[in-house]
Amino acid sequence: MNTAYAGMSPLGARRRFLKQAGAGTLVTALGGLTYVVAGDGATRAARAQTLADGRPRLPAGQKVLQALKPMGGRPGAPGRARFRLKVHGEVDQPFELDFNQLLALPVVERALDVHCVTGWSVLGARFRGVPLPELARRAKVRGSARHLIIEAAHGYTANVRLDEALVDDNLLAFEHDGRALARRHGSPVRAVIPKLYFWKSAKYVVGLRFARRDEPGYWETRGYHNHADPWKEERYA
């Protein structure tokens, strides 16, 4: 814990943390990791902004952070040299890629808003990677496919409806804010699905499987909402 909270009870430390976070920008360390919380002014400003479709930029129940918050998960094989991606399922041309082959595909950089089910959002987070529609095009996804199952290390999966998966903003990302993804954020490769709660943006990705039927993933089978639209506050089933 940050030394600012030394000697305090866990409950007292949490109350002090929340009070300071509400008052303004705060740098803190939890579990040995540092991140920055934006104050209420940033959250209010974001709520005053609207998206092109008229929705508020910041969904209800969210507060703005200035950097991604580490959210755990069991890492997969470390390093880019051991990375392998399998694209398979309801496709005519299944294939596998190593990291260098992934880099040889069309790569884009996007500034994306991401929203965690726990109540934080990061606005304009920069990710660089391969658009999911590009990978789907190369695999020649069949008309029978209805869902994308994102496969990650240790059997973790996240399910996304195909029409929402094949959107240009959705990436298989390997860089964040101009640097290789940090281990705690999913290196070497993670999914980024900004229009759904961030648990759908699986870390440590090893496969993209196109499926005929929906297959609720790790969190969906543990009480989280199957769809996960932040603007509808689809947090829990």
Answer whether residue 145 is part of any domain.
yes
Q: Is residue 206 part of a domain?
A: yes
Q: What is the mean pLDDT of residues 6-10?
A: 43
Per the structure, how many domains does the chain have? 1
**Residue 72's pLDDT is what?**
85
Taking alpha carbons only, the member of 37, 16, 35 closest to residue 25 is 37
Q: Which range, of 23-32, 171-180, 223-232, averages the lowest pLDDT?
A: 23-32
Which of residues 116 and 27 earns the better pLDDT score?
A: 116
- Report the predicted TM-score, pTM, of the whole model to 2 decimal places: 0.84
- Residues spanned by the domain of 191: 80-108+126-232
- Tell me, yes or no, whether 49 lies in a domain: no
Report which of 158, 198, 201, 204 is spatially closest to residue 62, judged by C-alpha positions. Answer: 198
Whether residue 172 is contained in a domain is answered as: yes
The answer as to whether 135 is a domain residue is yes
**pLDDT at residue number 37:** 52
CATH number, domain containing residue 191: 3.90.420.10
The 10s digit of each residue's pLDDT in 66-81 is 999 988 889 998 899 9
Asked if residue 98 belongs to a domain, the reply is yes
pLDDT of residue 32: 35
- How far apart are alpha carbons 186 and 71 in whole angstroms? 10
pLDDT at 167 over 70: yes
Output the pLDDT for position 99: 98
Radius of gyration from C-alpha coordinates of the chain: 18
